[in-house]
Amino acid sequence: MEQMTSRSNKKKVAVVGALNACFFAKRGFDVEVFETREDIRQAKIVKGRSINLALSHRGRQALKHVGMEEKIVSQGIPMHARMIHSQNGKQSPIPYGKKGQYILSVDRANLNKQLLTAAETYPNTKLNFDYKLQDWSAETGLMTFVRSDGLEEQIKADLIVGCDGAFSAIRKQFLRRSRFNYSQTYIPHGYMELTMPPINGEFAMKPNYLHIWPRNTFMMIALPNLDKTFTCTLFMPFEEFEKITTGNEVIEFFQKYFSDAIPLIGVDTLKRDYFRLPAQAMVSVKCTPYHIGDKCVLMGDAAHAVVPFYGQGMNAGFEDCIVFEEVMEQFNEDFSAVLPEYTRVRVPDDHAIADLAMYNYVEMRAHVNSRWFLFRKRVDNLLHFLMPKTIIPLYTMVTFTRTRYHECVERWQWQNKVINYGLLVSATGLVLGGSYLLIKNPPDINKLIIPAEKMWNRLMALRTP
Amino acid sequence: MEQMTSRSNKKKVAVVGALNACFFAKRGFDVEVFETREDIRQAKIVKGRSINLALSHRGRQALKHVGMEEKIVSQGIPMHARMIHSQNGKQSPIPYGKKGQYILSVDRANLNKQLLTAAETYPNTKLNFDYKLQDWSAETGLMTFVRSDGLEEQIKADLIVGCDGAFSAIRKQFLRRSRFNYSQTYIPHGYMELTMPPINGEFAMKPNYLHIWPRNTFMMIALPNLDKTFTCTLFMPFEEFEKITTGNEVIEFFQKYFSDAIPLIGVDTLKRDYFRLPAQAMVSVKCTPYHIGDKCVLMGDAAHAVVPFYGQGMNAGFEDCIVFEEVMEQFNEDFSAVLPEYTRVRVPDDHAIADLAMYNYVEMRAHVNSRWFLFRKRVDNLLHFLMPKTIIPLYTMVTFTRTRYHECVERWQWQNKVINYGLLVSATGLVLGGSYLLIKNPPDINKLIIPAEKMWNRLMALRTP
């Protein structure tokens, strides 16, 4: 057993996850970062998921705390609105919020690299790569790793912070304990990434948008990258992916549903890239409690993997760091009080965002096609403009504030009741008022036929296509 | 590697769980039963949960298939009704179904022993005790065990049947696979068992009942045993258990809530037994799919642990055997077709009984105290008597038929709508009819005062206390 010498008088914290390392290092803890993989900054080929991420307020606030916000934001591409591509090729934008509010498309690999470099600048932090966790004890804080040279190394930590992703190795030991509630739910959809190259050195579509092709049971989205490509992601039930087995079937399928994207991706690229990798699964993980005793805590995807449809996965994980920081402040870094309190305050919010992401999984691909949905979005935005503190659209609360996720949901349900009731009252008022005027001044019936026909046509147009 | 020689030309099935062994042996398979523990028939002290089990129709049908029904039923104690103990000591029975319908209190350990002996009578079955599963492959069917002599043994099976309980070792490998949906939910209540000894060689309470002391947030139940004792089980939130720390506090608590049970259990026994073991946790497990490829399938508690409040845990597990048998018949023992079909037909039913058990967790300790609940139970029973094929109480469908669990739930929801609507219409009819009669023949107002007062008192008494 090789004992690490302490570089300070502070407690030792073992973490997976570079942002968390910065938070603990900033507080003066003696921090050891462990990565199962090699240092991605030196790696030739970056393996793993390449999806770009949507960074918004919560994530930015966490980056700001460790002085990284500006750097990361400057390397992201602002997206001010969704751009809806209808089946006939028509494009219509739906803004994310008020003027000046936007989310950012950032590169996952680049973000990881920047955070590792930031963590390394703290003298009380050590990065360990190629360390495979063999065993650990929640009672003693002793962790056993196998290093890249094949030797074992043991490290004793005062706190083990498991931010080791949706398939967390740390979480496995939680599962063996009594009274640990856990669920993992795979959705019936898989995803597949396709690259849309630049055209004449420029973005093939308008860059400052998150492009969406909603098609009810499935959909495609596209996010811009710094190299002027777009990463297109096709979300579809696995059995639909499996039905397409030849290049020609791919083109036929795109011809039918995403015809405007074919010339932009390119027929040959499309035929080839569709078969490069099988469709990937998406999982939603919820659990509670997040801690064992006073020595281990789960954070980020390890505690709450969410489906990617609200663009909040990374933001929720980064916000965990702020919430933990707040609880640390409140309880004076006493882990035996901090850990239970962290579970108590954070679980309801993480469960709420997991549910919201699942809800948006339906909304993004189906509701966006409904005129009633678009009408309600406009009403919400108008009311938000008129009463900015009373009516706040759900998306705005989630994306552009730090309102606790579970409070966003509660407030949204309340607002919906109020607005729907208001719309009902207004509609009734209009009908009653109109009837009264008609009775008082009966108009020439012949003059009514044409406006009535127009109104009827409008009404018909309002129905979901 | 030690290869087992095949005792027949049939495929080899490795199972945990003696009832399943009988089913496969009866079909002529070469069956190996593996138990982690020693042979409980030889064990001096039987460890593990000692709760007695409630056997009803589904479980009996499975036992019947392997010729074990009569034997097990003869060793059980019929319970025709719940016996509700109110806080003031009053006892009132609520029958489980029609006359002659009853559930059976059976001894878990004895049942296990009988089933092992039954499995052993098949020449194509071998029982292996003290075999600890180290590893297994869903692809090859190869299982590695460590035997009691410390040696490893490998066995290759054509089908691995995992009925290894709520904390299944087999299920762990399912969890590592993609697209396996899983949830484990611990309820906030724990349970504790207390023994009520016989009095003068006779049962201390009426034996042919399941005694219930419903107290809203907690409850106690008691089931009769063949040795004329009752096993009392106290269900209570963990934090309530923890509040009671001394023998005197136990007595105080019982004095307040279960005073009629104190003389029957005995003050000294109560003071001692309460601290014998800490309260035990209860978990509800749901998952899907139940199979991997054509070589492994989960059944019983390993596939669907339920909380014990519907008395269906064992019955659902035993019914799994019948359903599997039916699918085997349908697909001619072709595992590659049988396993997916078993998942398809059985998952919705197991999930339904898990939900129902969770629902009854509230009903048993709280609703049973409500007069509206008792009134509705009586209405349901009356309607069942009048229209035995149209209206069937939920409990009857679940306990005394083999109606698929998910169909029981659907039918119950439909019946509730119809009955509640019927009650509303009848009440309205009574009011209208009464008003009409009153207007036609206005009675002397003074004669109405006393009956009105009586009716008012009745109505008041109908409210939940």
List the pLDDT tens digit at each of the 465 positions of chain B: 334 444 445 788 888 778 999 999 999 999 999 999 888 888 766 544 557 899 999 999 999 999 999 999 999 999 999 999 999 889 999 889 888 999 999 999 899 999 999 999 999 999 999 999 999 999 999 999 999 999 999 999 999 999 999 999 999 999 989 999 999 999 999 999 999 999 999 999 999 999 999 998 999 999 999 999 999 999 999 999 999 999 999 999 999 999 999 999 999 999 999 999 999 999 999 999 999 999 999 999 999 999 999 999 999 999 999 999 999 999 999 999 999 999 999 999 999 999 999 998 888 777 766 777 778 888 888 888 888 888 888 999 999 999 999 999 999 999 888 888 888 888 888 888 877 877 777 766 666 566 666 666 665 555 443
Q: Calculate the CA A283 to chain-centre distance.
A: 13
Residues of B in contact with A179 (CB under 8 A): 186, 281
- Select from A175, A178, A184 the Cβ nearest to the Cβ of B181: A184
CB B367, CB B309: distance < 8 Å: no
B435 touches chain A (CB under 8 A): no
Q: What is the ipTM of this complex?
A: 0.82
**Cα distance between the two ends of chain A:** 68
B140 touches chain A (CB under 8 A): no
Cα–Cα distance for residue pair A431/A454, rounded to 1 Å:
17
Q: Is residue B325 helix, strand or coil?
A: helix
For residue A274 the two structure tokens come to 């569709």
CATH number of B12-78+98-184+284-363: 3.50.50.60
Q: What is the tens place of the pLDDT at every residue in A11-58?
A: 888 887 789 999 999 999 999 999 998 888 887 665 445 578 999 999
- State the DSSP H helix or E strand holding residue B456, giving kind and residue range, or none if neither: helix B445-462
Q: A406 to chain B nearest CA, in Å? A: 21
Residue found under tokens 């559930």: B103
Q: B215 to chain A nearest CA, in Å? A: 24
Per-residue tens of pLDDT for chain A, all 465 residues? 334 444 445 788 888 778 999 999 999 999 999 999 888 888 766 544 557 899 999 999 999 999 999 999 999 999 999 999 999 889 999 889 888 999 999 999 899 999 999 999 999 999 999 999 999 999 999 999 999 999 999 999 999 999 999 999 999 999 989 999 999 999 999 999 999 999 999 999 999 999 999 998 999 999 999 999 999 999 999 999 999 999 999 999 999 999 999 999 999 999 999 999 999 999 999 999 999 999 999 999 999 999 999 999 999 999 999 999 999 999 999 999 999 999 999 999 999 999 999 998 888 777 766 777 778 888 888 888 888 888 888 999 999 999 999 999 999 999 888 888 888 888 888 888 877 777 777 666 666 566 666 666 665 655 443
Q: Calculate the CA A262 to chain-centre distance.
A: 27
Cis peptide before A388 (omega within 30 of 0): no
For residue B62 the two structure tokens come to 């499975």
Q: Apex CA B462: angle with CA B461 and CA B465, to 5°?
A: 70
Cα–Cα distance for residue pair B332/B323, rounded to 1 Å:
14
Cis peptide before A289 (omega within 30 of 0): yes
Cα–Cα distance for residue pair A404/A413, rounded to 1 Å:
14
Q: How many residues would you count in chain A?
A: 465
A182 touches chain B (CB under 8 A): yes
| Cα dihedral sign, B85-B91-B93-B94 | negative
- Select from B178, B183, B281 the Cβ nearest to the Cβ of A183: B183
B181 touches chain A (CB under 8 A): yes
A281 touches chain B (CB under 8 A): yes
* Interface contact flag, B183 A182, Cβ < 8 Å: yes
| Domain A12-81+100-183+284-363 in CATH 3.20.20.70 | no
Q: Is residue B453 helix, strand or coil?
A: helix
For residue B149 the two structure tokens come to 């002599």
CB B190, CB B281: distance < 8 Å: yes
Cα–Cα distance for residue pair B420/B433, rounded to 1 Å:
20
- Select from A180, A181, A186 the Cβ nearest to the Cβ of B181: A186
| Cα dihedral sign, A37-A40-A42-A45 | positive
Q: B184 to chain A nearest CA, in Å? A: 5
B175 touches chain A (CB under 8 A): yes
B180 touches chain A (CB under 8 A): yes
A177 touches chain B (CB under 8 A): no
B239 touches chain A (CB under 8 A): no
Q: How many residues would you count in chain B?
A: 465
> CA-nearest residue of chain B to A175?
B184
CB B42, CB B59: distance < 8 Å: no
For residue A189 the two structure tokens come to 């959809």
Cα–Cα distance for residue pair A295/A159, rounded to 1 Å:
4
> CA-nearest residue of chain A to B183?
A183
Interface test with A, best of B168, B174, B177, B184 (most A CBs within 10 A): B184
For residue B165 the two structure tokens come to 């309980």
Interface test with A, best of B178, B187, B288 (most A CBs within 10 A): B178
A175 touches chain B (CB under 8 A): yes
* Interface contact flag, A184 B183, Cβ < 8 Å: yes
Q: A429 to chain B nearest CA, in Å? A: 33
CB B356, CB B310: distance < 8 Å: yes
If 0-12 CB within 10 Å is exposed, 13-18 middle and 19+ buried, where does residue A413 land? exposed
| Cα dihedral sign, B131-B135-B138-B142 | negative
| Cα dihedral sign, B142-B303-A180-B191 | negative
Cα–Cα distance for residue pair B224/A289, rounded to 1 Å:
38
Pairing of strands B209-215, B280-288: unpaired
B99 touches chain A (CB under 8 A): no
For residue A228 the two structure tokens come to 């002027």
Q: Calculate the CA A138 to chain-centre distance.
A: 30
Residues of B in contact with A183 (CB under 8 A): 182-185
How many A×B Cβ pairs under 8 Å?
Answer: 31
Residues of A in contact with B182 (CB under 8 A): 182-184
Residues of B in contact with A289 (CB under 8 A): none
> CA-nearest residue of chain B to A168?
B176
- Select from A178, A179, A183 the Cβ nearest to the Cβ of B182: A183
DSSP lists the bridge partners of residue B162 as B298
Q: Apex CA A73: angle with CA A68 and CA A78, to 5°?
A: 160
Cα–Cα distance for residue pair A165/A155, rounded to 1 Å:
21
Q: Apex CA B265: angle with CA B262 and CA B270, to 5°?
A: 80
Cα–Cα distance for residue pair B372/B463, rounded to 1 Å:
7
Cα–Cα distance for residue pair A186/B272, rounded to 1 Å:
48
Residues of A in contact with B185 (CB under 8 A): 181, 183
Q: A184 to chain B nearest CA, in Å? A: 5
* Interface contact flag, B179 A186, Cβ < 8 Å: yes
Cα–Cα distance for residue pair B335/B324, rounded to 1 Å:
11
CB B129, CB B35: distance < 8 Å: yes
Residue found under tokens 């009373």: A390
> CA-nearest residue of chain B to A284?
B181
Cα–Cα distance for residue pair B293/B337, rounded to 1 Å:
10
- CB-based contacts of A98, cutoff 8 Å, min separation 6: A384, A385, A396
